[in-house]
Each structure stands twice: as C-alpha cells, then as structure tokens.
C-alpha cells in the first residue's frame, strides 16, 4: 500500500513540544507514513527555535520557509505564499498543524484551498475572546480541518456546539504532556537551580508575552509592579520573550529588572531551553503566566499557576487543575499570589488522558485513515 504522505508544520516556540511526540510516534511506521517537516520560520532566534530541536531530539526541518516577523497580515500572507509552493511540490495526502499560532492558520487555509486534507492537533480550544489573534486562528483552523484531535471533553463540546460533525472529532489527550512526561526525569537531573542558588519551593517563575498584556504601557507597568511586590517575598525568574523585551525597552520600564546574579527581585534571563524551563517549573512554588502551555504544564506538575488573563481557552486547568485566572490588574494578581503563598492554593488533579499517550492515539487514527477509514 502507498504510504500516507504527511507534511508536519511547525512555526513558533509552542509548536515544537507538540509536534515532537507526533514525529516520534509516526517514525514507528516508516512503511505506512512518510513525513516531511516544514518550519515556517515564524520564530527564528536560536533560543526561540533551534534550541528546542536539540532539547527535544527532533529531526531538523526538511524545509524552512524563513518567513520571520511582521504584522499579522504580512506574516500570514508570507507563510501562505511559501507553503502553497511546498504543497504543490510535495503533493502530501495530509497536512498536520498544531496549536493556534499564525503558522497553524496560514498553512491550514493554504492546504485546504489546494484540496489537501488537514488535521488539527489541539483543536476545539476557545477563549471566546476575539481580541486574541490566537482565537481567530483557532476558529479559522477548526472550521476547515478534516480531523480534529482534542485535548479534553470541553474542546469536543465546543466543536459540536459550532456544528462540527462528531465523526471528525477525536478525544486523544494532550501531546504537550507527552513531551513533558518523556523529559521530566531528564529535566530533574539538571543542576541549573543549584547553580542559581535557588531552593525548591523557594522561587516563582514568570512568562509574559501576550499582546493584550505587553503592548499597552499602563497594563504592562501594572503587571510589573505586582510582580515586583511578589519578588520581595520570593525571587521571580523571568525568561523574557523578545516581544516583551522590546516593549519593556520602548516604554522605558527596564528599571524593573535586576539582571545581576541576585536572587531577590525580578530576575530576567534570555528565553530558556525546554529542559531548563521545565526544570525550574518543577521546583517552583508558584508559576505566573499568560501563556497557554504553562497552564497545562503546571496543572500536570501540581504547581499553583496564576494566569494573568481575563479568560482562558483551557478552562479544564481551572476546573480540575491548579490554575487560577486573575486578569491583568495589579491588585488581583497580588491578592491571588498572597493566597497561594500563605498555603491556600487549590490541590488540583491531572485531567483525563494526560498520560503520555496522546501522540500514539493520533497515529493509531492516522493509520486507520490510511487503511481507508473516514
């Protein structure tokens, strides 16, 4: 039988840990599945891209579109033009996209218009917040995709409420957690926290990069003021995203940071590799974030997570996990941090099918498709 020819798409940092276990699971069936890995180049800095390939043991991309940064329209358009050519040259049977970044949506639209089937991994997540570019990406991607692989029951309900045919929806679990489980032991062996003089449960980690939080000076300033207050109680390690660094500098807010090797205060670092950051999060007393992935990861690690957003596309992490949504106002961030630090955080449980086997399930379904099913 002819193998199923699949193009796997990655573009930005949160895509790599979702795609890595899928590639590994597909590699078990070289006669049935032929893979081509395309990197759009949406993220391109060593620390935002290449270092993840090394940490996660992923093969290098077969094709790099090198699109780089730009406005949403520019970036999306550049990806579409370049990816169309790839699809025409490669003639895949299926394109697999993950997550909700511009690359996810751009490649989905392009492939579908060429009549190519598309599978979306991490489908059905909804924040209901149309001011988030990611929500637009999620909606456009899901409405077009042929196979929708979901992480939890809520995502399946969302898709059905939007009229998606049940036959297209597969509740498989969370591939990002497959990666976490595979690397947990390895990350625990690192001596990074020791080198930094950090003790387990004696520090917090912070990520901050959402447009809604960092592109407005007053909002960003309020968040940083709250973090600074928290950092008087315990050091806050902040691997800063390039977007945020740019905004902090342009708003004249750099004085908030202490880049010396003092562990009191907000401690700013370059973006960290996957293993290093997992290592730090595993020992953290508290995670402060506006990222999607960290809400999922902290829930599985059992670390309290304060999400500085008014909504989340991952409500299961609040319903069942350790996540609390507080919005981006200083007083609300401080209130919740003080609750957590006084030992009152909720003890969550790990949601269903976060068992390290999501990629295996997806590949099982792909093999059925290859065998002529749906």
> In this complex, which beta carbon is closest to ligand UD1, that of residue 43 or of residue 117?
43
> Quick check: 317 and 295 in contact, CB under 8 A?
yes
Closest approach of Cβ 80 to ligand UD1, in Å? 14
If DSSP codes are grouped into helix, strand and coil, which group holds residue 109? helix
Half-sphere exposure in the Cβ direction for 347 (13 Å, CA): 1
Alpha-carbon distances of 41 from 67, 75, 170, rounded to whole Å: 5, 10, 29
Q: What string of DSSP letters covers 308-319?
A: -SS--S-THHHH
Which residue of the set 43, 120, 209, 241 is catalytic?
Answer: 209
* Contacts to ligand UD1 by CB under 6 A: 12-14, 42-45, 48, 69, 100-102, 133-134, 209, 241-243, 246, 291
> In this complex, which beta carbon is closest to ligand UD1, that of residue 27 or of residue 74?
74
What residues does 237 pair with on adjacent strands? 205, 267
Q: Which residue, 146, 144, 148, 76, is CA-closest to 106?
A: 76
Closest approach of Cβ 145 to ligand UD1, in Å? 17
Closest approach of Cβ 44 to ligand UD1, in Å? 4
> In this complex, which beta carbon is closest to ligand UD1, that of residue 35 or of residue 103?
103
> In this complex, which beta carbon is closest to ligand UD1, that of residue 294 or of residue 300?
294
Query: How far is C-alpha 191 from the chain's CA centre?
Result: 25
How long is the chain?
374
Alpha-carbon distance of 305 to 204, in angstroms, equals 10
Closest approach of Cβ 37 to ligand UD1, in Å? 18
> In this complex, which beta carbon is closest to ligand UD1, that of residue 134 or of residue 152?
134
Closest approach of Cβ 199 to ligand UD1, in Å? 29
The region, left, alpha or beta by phi > 0 then psi within -120 to 50, assigned to residue 152 is beta
Question: Any catalytic annotation for residue 183?
Answer: no
Q: Would you name the residues annotated as active-site residues?
A: 209
């Amino acid at each position: 039988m002819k193998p199923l020819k699949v193009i796997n798409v990655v573009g930005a940092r949160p895509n790599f840990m979702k795609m890595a276990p899928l590639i590994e699971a597909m590699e078990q069936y070289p006669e049935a599945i032929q893979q081509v890995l395309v990197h759009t180049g949406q993220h391109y800095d060593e620390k935002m891209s290449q270092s993840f390939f090394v940490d996660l043991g992923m093969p290098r991309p077969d094709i790099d579109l090198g699109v780089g940064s730009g406005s949403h329209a520019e970036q999306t358009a550049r990806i579409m033009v370049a990816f169309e050519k790839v699809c025409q040259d490669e003639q895949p049977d299926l394109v697999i996209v993950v997550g909700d970044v511009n690359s996810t949506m751009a490649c989905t639209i392009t492939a579908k218009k060429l009549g190519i089937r598309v599978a979306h991994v991490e489908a059905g997540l909804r924040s209901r917040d149309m001011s988030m570019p990611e929500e637009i990406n999620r909606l456009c991607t899901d409405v077009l995709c042929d196979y929708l692989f979901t992480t939890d029951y809520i995502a399946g309900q969302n898709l059905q409420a939007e009229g998606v045919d049940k036959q297209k929806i597969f509740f498989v679990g969370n591939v990002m957690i497959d990666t976490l489980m595979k690397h947990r032991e390895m990350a625990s062996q690192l001596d990074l926290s020791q080198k930094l003089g950090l003790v387990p449960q004696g520090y917090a980690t912070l990520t901050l990069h959402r447009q809604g939080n960092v592109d407005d000076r007053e909002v960003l300033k309020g968040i940083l003021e709250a973090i600074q207050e928290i950092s008087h109680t315990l050091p806050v390690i902040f691997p800063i995203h390039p977007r945020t660094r740019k905004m902090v500098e342009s708003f004249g807010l750099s004085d908030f940071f202490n880049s010396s090797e003092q562990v009191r205060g907000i401690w700013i670092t370059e973006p960290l590799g996957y293993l290093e950051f997992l290592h730090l999060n595993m020992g953290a007393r508290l995670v402060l974030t506006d990222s999607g992935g960290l809400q999922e990861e902290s829930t599985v690690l059992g670390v309290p997570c304060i999400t500085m957003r008014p909504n989340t596309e991952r409500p299961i992490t609040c319903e069942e996990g350790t996540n609390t949504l507080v919005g981006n106002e200083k007083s609300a961030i401080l209130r919740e941090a003080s609750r957590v630090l006084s030992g009152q955080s909720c003890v969550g449980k790990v949601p269903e099918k976060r068992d390290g086997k999501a990629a295996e399930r997806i590949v099982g379904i792909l093999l059925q498709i290859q065998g002529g099913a749906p």
